[in-house]
Structure 1
Amino acid sequence: MNRISNLLKNKWIKRSLILAVTVVGFFIVLYFSIYLGAFGKIPTKEELSSIKQEEATEVLDKNGKLIGKYFIYDRQPLEFHDFPKHLIEALIATEDVRFYEHDGIDNVSLLRVFFKSILLQDKSSGGGSTITLQLAKNLFGRKDYAFLSLVINKFKEAIIAKRIEDIYSKNDILTLYFNTVPFSDNTYGVESASQKFFNKTTAELSIPEAATLVGTLKANHYFNPRLNVQRSQERRNVVLHQMYKYDYISEDSLNVYQADTLALNYRSFNHDLGVAPYFREQVKKELSAVLDSLKKPNGEAYDLYKDGLVVYTTLDYDMQVLAEEAMKEHMAKLQADFEASYGKGAPWNSNERLINAAMQNLPIYKKLKAQRFSEETIQDSLAKKRPVELFSWSGDTVKNITLKDSLRHYLKFLNTGMLGIEPSTGAIRTYIGGIDYRFFKYDHVSQSERQVGSTFKPFVYTTAIEDGMKPCTYFSLAEVTYTNYDDWTPSNSGSDDEDPHINYTLEKALSQSVNTIAVKVLDKVGIAKVHEQVKKLGIEKELPHEPSLALGVAEINLKNLTGAYASYVNDSKAVRPYSITKIEDRHGKVIAQFKPKVNTNDAFSDYTREVMLEIMKETVNSGTAARLRSSYGLSNDIAGKTGTTQNNKDGWFVGITPQLVTITWVGNDNHSIGFKTTGLGQGANSALPIFAKFYQKLNADSQFNNITNARFKNPSEAVLEDLNCEPEKRDGFFKRLFGRKKKSRKFE
């Protein structure tokens, strides 16, 4: 006792004891002040028992396959039974081997860290953070408290961890952890990470894949398997060794797994990347409008980015992939041909007026102009070089260029729109709004209206047949000048070599896309009746009231055009293309459901439908779309129509099969730039090959046999009889002799 008394008289020992007691007292006071909420409210057990995390809205295709997500934090929750056993073992072996023994705070590990890491400076001793402590951090984050931040945050996490352990089972804690832990590439939750890095569900993860994801938790950027493959593989092997160390895998398995090269199947769910980005953006717009009219049971509005909704769509993921492949293959080649056809004198290189007009439409130019800067100042500002990412079919690059140089680069690109629908319902199966959503945000399916060219002609012929005109009615190829429309004289491609005394039936005239006859048929039946017929096909917009309507000067949206063409294989009923079938909340309750929008009234008679389908089949078999047979070897039942607009600005192809109607468009977004030649720009060359390549891919995939093997219904005997005539005939001698003079007349 005297010895202790003497020690306490030593001023250094006394001061050390006072300091120790003070420090301990300080931390005790600090702990209780934190506990009582002095540094922010600590969630109660009641609040922790109803943890609600933000969840991404999932977008699924018609077969339930994940297409994409809308999120602020990319997270998809799972239940405990969804986690494979080896994923849990990888986590426990690496992060918290005593997980099932402690109550949130692992005192044994903390002592090890204190003595080995702090006193002995052994960095290999590991940390003392448990899975539950990490969960507390994941759920509530950390705040900045100046120099005491680490201590205060650790105390708060310890309090929360203890409460979590009191109210949740170990399995529940693991479930919460796996659903909230941050992985690489701004991904939250193991299901999102699994889908992103391996394109599979968590339940399908192999042992090395599970080890890879668990390995990233130590430092999700440093061990990002997409960015740092070698580093991530080494970290994966550490996790595998931990699994071996704690008897979760055998030594033989360890050797096999560690020898495997890390292989990713990366799928980005970035809004600009991945499959069907234009479709996902359009669905998002439609969802926003739908959700504005819905309320949760508690009266709150739904949040598309946080409420974990599940959106079921009509898109076919696998079919969409094939459509995108076909589009890219063709457009890359067409772009090269397009640039080569212009050579050095291309308008995007030599036409300064075109460049300046395009520049003046840019938001940055308009903003500077609105701020009253002079033209010289604006031009100087825009002439500064800056790093710009440039799209190219051979691979994107970043260059230090001016805004005008960037405009020159992007003005040259052809773009495209492609829509494929199920004709009986209007369900959208494929949707391509452009060549690359990252660089070209404008959607050529839902936003664009372009002149439809010769794809309008079938509507004129449909009106005529519905009005009583027989398919074997003959019209002359000869040009006619319409005096009451500024002496307009429509002509045919290659008309210089054309015999004006040849007459075609409606079938041959349409299958060969003859302009002069299309206008004559329109003149015969009347513009008003064509307008009326087109409205029955679901196209409500005002159309031009002039003879050039027969040649497709009307600008029509691709969705409306596709829905109209569906009528030829849908019992004469037009449809409205749609994309969403139902929406569920996070609990699986259906909050909205959508049915096909099919016109209840027939747009035309069965007779008309059968005649038109036979004529458009002939377009493919021997007409302007014959290269589907000759060049691409397609033997499917196909009807179709090519289309090319004035000055080769737009190329179109309509492909009709019994179970799928597909329309493709190709052109330049700047209406001043068309194809250099008709041979290059005609729909049969610019748009048809996308459809052809798409169907080649469908034919090679047995899962689409129900589409590729489908056959058209046989037409009635009456239709076959009415089509049974010579496709062309020549004027008799006297008509040729006295009918050489070029004809002029008024358009009725």
Structure 2
Amino acid sequence: MPDNKKLSSIINEEASLVYSSDTIIIGKIFAENRTNIKLEQIPNHLKKALIATEDKRFYSHLGYDSRSYLRVLFKSILMRDQKGGGGSTITQQLIKNLYGRQYSGFLNLPVNKIKELITAKRIEKIYTKDEILLLYLNSVPFGEDIFGVESAANRFFNKSVSELKVEESAVLIGMLKANTYYNPRLKPKNSLNRRNTVLQLMNNEQYLSYQATDSLQKLPLTLNYENVNLKTTAGYFVYQVKKKVTEILESVNETRNKNYNLETEGLEIHTTLNYSIQKIAEKAAKEQLISKQKQLEIELRSNSIKAKWFKKQEGKSLSLEKDKQNRNAELFDWDSTKIISGTKFDILWHYAKMLNASVLITNPKNGAVISWVGGNNFRMLPFDMVLSHRQIASAFKPVLYATAIENGFSPCDYLENEEKTYPEFENWKPQNADYSSTPDSKVALWYALIHSMNLPTIDLYFKLERELLINSCKKLKFPEITGNAPSIALGTLDLSLFEIIRAYGTFANKGEMNDLYMISKITDKAGNIIYESKEEKAERIFKTESCQTLTAILQQAVEQGTGSNIRNKYDIKSQLASKTGTAQSYTDAWFIAYTPNIVFGTWVGTSENSIHFNSGKGSGSSLALPIIANILKEIEKDTQLKNKYLTSFDIPKEIYSSIQCPPYKQKGIKGFWNRLFKKKTK
């Protein structure tokens, strides 16, 4: 049994809370999901509901109730009547919640009751009655892995305990008898009946008038259920925050000789995520994927991809081939989490054909993460696509072009746009996406980039020293590049959305790159600051003028290039620079856009490269761009967000003038005579 010293230092473990930058709770990290409250936060009607239901002589006994004990002795023990009642006071229930019960053989019940009686007498000498109520309400389990009345109020009514109405308090107190059987979400009829019983018990003790009781019992059961730990996409961000906070606390504990525990001490973690933009991003990704999933499945049915995929899986796994048994499985689908019946093949196929999307939005000026959508559903599909490495495709090209501009190339330098075979690279023969070429003319560097042309890009790659490009990639903290294949210029490198958005932040921030961060501050439950992020010095990657020139070119990609649907289809008015990316065979679709104050990026694709669109429906402009476009559309509607993030570029006029040259220039004799003719006609 706990002694007086142990009883005097009762501390309920408390969940740590994760807040967005706009002070919304977006997650909890806990061993036990509990948020402790203070005595003044408990409404009187909650206290009265508890006492009337669980221990009506609470204020008059000394920790145990003699009458109840006699009932237990004669009915439950001597007469072996299991319906004789437990006889435990609130104080004794508190002890059971805190310390549990040990098995003591055939005398189990009387032994535990005697232990609880002695401990209850001790605890009543240490704490006041109201302090015991507070300890009880902070420790009692409500099912669904939640402990304490504050967490229960947040879960079932999406409000603090101090805001509870009388009938809502009655619902929560009613759950204490059997928290699953009376769970208002799972068993609403049972919960309603139990709520009305609690209200009647309050009336019996004259805590409620007859009229008030009658009126409250006629009210329907109304919930506002909110489980932040089941959020479909914020969970990805919270998980990354948890990993980072764990590292921070390990360092703090070691250097300051502290012992902070993330799961038990009720810390407050303040993050950089903007909840308003996070909701917009989640919605935009969901709506796009629902629409495109239907189109993909039509394509998959028409070209027998499913049959080919099944055959491939059978070749991989003999156990799968033999396992033809149907089974029920809970699977995520956009309509709802659903139960399907099928073989292991059917279950694997459900997810293999599913389109996934990730969205990452950051502030390039300091690296703050504004929104992080790691996938379709964190609980069911926890793998984080923001960190997944996929073929970056043409979204890589601005890195090559920025490196070229940094090293003396001009937007009006002209590049070859003619198909060639490269024997030294296994007869590699690159082509433009539309299979076009112009042997008689060259294309301007700026025009080649905004239309994402492959042939001029390869020409630029060979004119630029390869080591200069590799050095840029190292500075941008890309994965190590092996081999010497020139196809890297077209984006064959595998990068994560995290890595490419950090790199584009460099272009937006005039050549300076900030590392991305998510946590602004950590405090203990008393408000003392444990950790606060410090502004790190950005790393200079490119010259300011180089990035301004690249940005001026990528602005033209929005006006007349691969990102023009932003204007033409979605009518986005803000100044933007952008770049699409479409991997070979449409396996990965990318779209990235930025202003001086915000970088938007998204990736869309399936988990398996063998399953994809076989048409332009799978391109970056068709599959990924609409997600960012719809995010932009909602931000433009919000004056505060628009003014903060959708700011104009401050690029000198001479930079814009430097890209004012014809997109094509004819070469050779034909070009000479054309230039001569044009000169004479002026």
**TM-score w.r.t. structure 2 length?**
0.90
Deviation readout 1:369-418 (Å, 9 max, x if unpaired) = xxxxxx5xx45764444332233223333344332332233221222222
Q: Is the counterpart of residue 688 in structure 1 residue 625 in structure 2? A: yes
The aligned counterpart of 1:191 is: 150
Letter in 1 for 2:651: P
Change (3 A) 1:76 1:127: same
Q: Give runs of aligned pairs for residues 608-619 of structure 1, distance below 5 A.
A: 608-619=546-557
Q: Is the 8 A contact 2:12 2:138 kept in 1?
A: no
Q: 1:617 offset after TM fit, Å?
A: 1.7
Distance in 2, Cα, partners of 1:259 & 1:695: 47
2:237 to 279, 285, 290: 279
Q: Within 5 Å, which residues of 2 pair with 1:336-351?
A: 336-351=294-309
Match of 2:501 in 1: 562
The 1-side partners of 2:429 and 2:268 are apart by: 56
Percent of paired sites with the same residue: 38
Report how many residues are paired. 674
Compute the displacement of 1:236 (Å): 1.9
Q: How is 1:420-569 mapped onto 2 (pairs within 5 angstroms)?
A: 420-446=361-387, 448-496=388-436, 499-501=438-440, 503-539=442-478, 541-542=480-481, 545-569=484-508
What is the CA distance between 1:562 and its match in structure 2? Answer: 0.9
Moved more, 635-644 or 480-489: 480-489
1:45 aligns with 2:7: no
Return the alpha-carbon distance in structure 2 between the equivalents of residues 297 and 132 of structure 1. 41
Does 2:657 match 1:721?
yes
Q: Which residue of 2 is the match for residue 394 of structure 1?
A: 335
Alpha-carbon contact 2:296-2:612 (below 8 Å) kept: no
Question: Which whole-Å CA distance do the structure 2 matches of 1:466 and 1:216 have between them?
Answer: 67
Q: Which residue of 2 aligns with 1:403?
A: 344
Q: In 1, Cα distance between the equivalents of 2:232 and 2:490?
A: 38
Of 456-465 and 193-202, the range deviating more from structure 2: 193-202
| 2:674 maps to 1:734 | no
CA distance in 1, matches of 2:254, 2:524: 9
Structure 2 counterpart of 1:721, which letter?
S
**Could you tell me how far apart the structure 2 residues matched to 1:159 and 1:699 are?**
66
Change beyond 3 A, Cα 1:194–1:730: farther
Query: How far apart in 2 are the matches of 1:380 and 1:530?
Result: 47
Report the Cα offset of residue 564 of structure 1.
Answer: 0.9
1:356 to 314, 317, 341: 314
Partner of 1:653: 591
Number of the residue aligned with 2:678: none
User: Aligned runs of 1:569-588 on 2, under 5 Å?
Assistant: 569-588=508-527
Partner of 1:99: 58
Matched residues in 1 for 2:210 and 2:451: separation? 72
Q: How does 1:635-714 map to 2 (within 5 A)?
A: 635-677=573-615, 679-701=616-638, 704-707=641-644, 710-714=646-650
Q: Which amino acid aligns with 2:545?
A: Y
| C-alpha contact (below 8 Å) 1:388/1:398 kept by paired residues | yes
Check whether the contact 1:503–1:729 (CA below 8 A) recurs between aligned residues. yes
Deviation for aligned residue 1:453? 0.6
Partner of 1:86: 45
Q: Sort the Cα spacing of 1:297 and 1:88 in 2 relative to 1 into closer, same or farther, 3 A.
A: farther
Show the counterpart of 2:122.
Answer: 163
Name the aligned partner's letter for residue 717 of structure 1. Answer: K
> Are the structure 2 counterparts of residues 215 and 461 from structure 1 closer, same or farther at C-alpha, using a change threshold of 3 Å?
same
Question: Displacement, 1:557?
Answer: 2.2
Amino acid at match of 1:420: I
Offset of residue 128 of structure 1:
4.3
Please tell me the residue identity of whatever aligns with 1:470.
S
Cα pair 1:355 1:407 within 8 Å, conserved: no
- Structure 1 residues 319-359: Cα deviation after superposition (integer angstroms, max 9, x where no partner): 222222221111122111111112254433334452135x5
Distance 1:455 1:198 in 2: 45
Deviation, structure 1 residue 454: 0.6
Q: Distance in 2 between matches of 1:344 and 1:704?
A: 44
For the structure 1 residues 244 and 700, does the alpha-carbon distance in structure 2 shift closer, same or farther, using more than 3 Å as the test?
farther
- How far did 1:467 drift? 1.5
**What is residue 264 of structure 2 aligned with on the other side?**
306
Moved more, 133-142 or 280-289: 280-289
Q: Which residue of 1 aligns with 2:568?
A: 630
Report how far residue 445 of structure 1 moved.
1.5
CA–CA separation in structure 2 for the residues paired with 1:124 and 1:111: 14
- 2:559 is matched with which residue? 621
Secondary structure at 1:480's aligned position in 2? Answer: coil
- The answer as to whether partners of 2:479 and 2:495 remain within 8 angstroms in 1 is no
Q: Is structure 2 residue 293 aligned with structure 1 residue 335? A: yes
> What is the rounded CA distance, in whole Å, between the counterparts of 1:398 and 1:714 in structure 2?
54
Please point out which of 184, 189, 208 is paired with 1:230: 189
Residue 84 (structure 1) shift: 2.9
Is the CA contact (8 Å cut-off) linking 2:416 and 2:441 kept in structure 1?
yes
How far apart, in 2, do the equivalents of 1:570 and 1:83 lie? 50
Equivalent residue number for residue 199 of structure 2? 240
2 CA distance for matches of 1:389 and 1:353?
A: 24
Distance 1:571 1:203 in 2: 50
Number of the residue aligned with 1:741:
none
Helix, strand or coil for the counterpart of 1:661? Answer: strand
User: Which letter does structure 2 place at the counterpart of 1:260?
Assistant: L
Answer whether contact 1:644 1:683 (CA < 8 A) is retained. yes
Instruction: Report the more deviating stretch, 218-227 or 392-401.
Output: 392-401
Which structure: larger Rg? 1
Letter in 2 for 1:712: S
Matches of residues 77-226 of structure 1 in structure 2 within 5 Å? 77-107=36-66, 128-226=87-185
Moved more, 275-284 or 535-544: 535-544
Give the Cα separation in 1 of the matches to 2:92 and 2:289: 53
Distance 2:532 2:501 in 1: 23
Question: Which secondary structure does the structure 1 equivalent of 2:365 belong to?
Answer: coil
d(CA) in 1 for partners of 2:244, 2:393? 30
Change (3 A) 1:267 1:674: same
Structure 1 contact 476–501 (Cα < 8 Å) conserved: no
User: Per the alignment, do residues 352 and 96 of structure 1 end up closer, same or farther by CA in structure 2, a change over 3 Å counting?
Assistant: closer
Q: Distance in 1 between matches of 2:179 and 2:439?
A: 75
Which 5+ residue runs of structure 1 have no aligned equivalent? 1-41, 361-374, 739-748
The residue identity in structure 2 corresponding to 1:310 is: E
The offset of 1:47, in angstroms, is 0.9
Task: Pick closer, same or farther for the CA change 1:259–1:730 going to 2, 3 Å.
Answer: farther
Q: Which moved more, 1:395-404 or 1:452-461?
A: 395-404
Aligned-residue offset at 1:644: 0.6
Alignment of 1:321-332 (within 5 A): 321-332=279-290
Once residues 219 and 398 of structure 2 are traced to their aligned partners in structure 1, the CA distance between those partners, rounded to angstroms, is 59
CA drift of 1:529 comes to: 1.2
Contact 2:232–2:378 (Cα < 8 Å) also in 1: no
How many Å apart are 1:48 and its aligned residue?
Answer: 0.3
Displacement after TM superposition at 1:182 (Å): 0.7
Cα deviation code 1:35-75 (max 9, x no counterpart): xxxxxxx1111110001333333322223322222333222
Change (3 A) 1:570 1:201: farther
SS at match of 1:723: coil
Deviation of 1:125 after TM superposition, in Å, equals 11
Contact 1:502/1:728 (8 A) holds in 2:
yes
Q: Which consecutive residues of structure 2, in runs of 5 or more, have no partner in the other structure?
A: 675-682
CA distance in 1 between counterparts of 2:142 and 2:177 reads 10
Residues 720/702 of structure 1: CA separation in 2 closer, same or farther (3 Å cut): closer
More off after superposition, 116-125 vs 96-105: 116-125
Shift of 1:114: 8.6
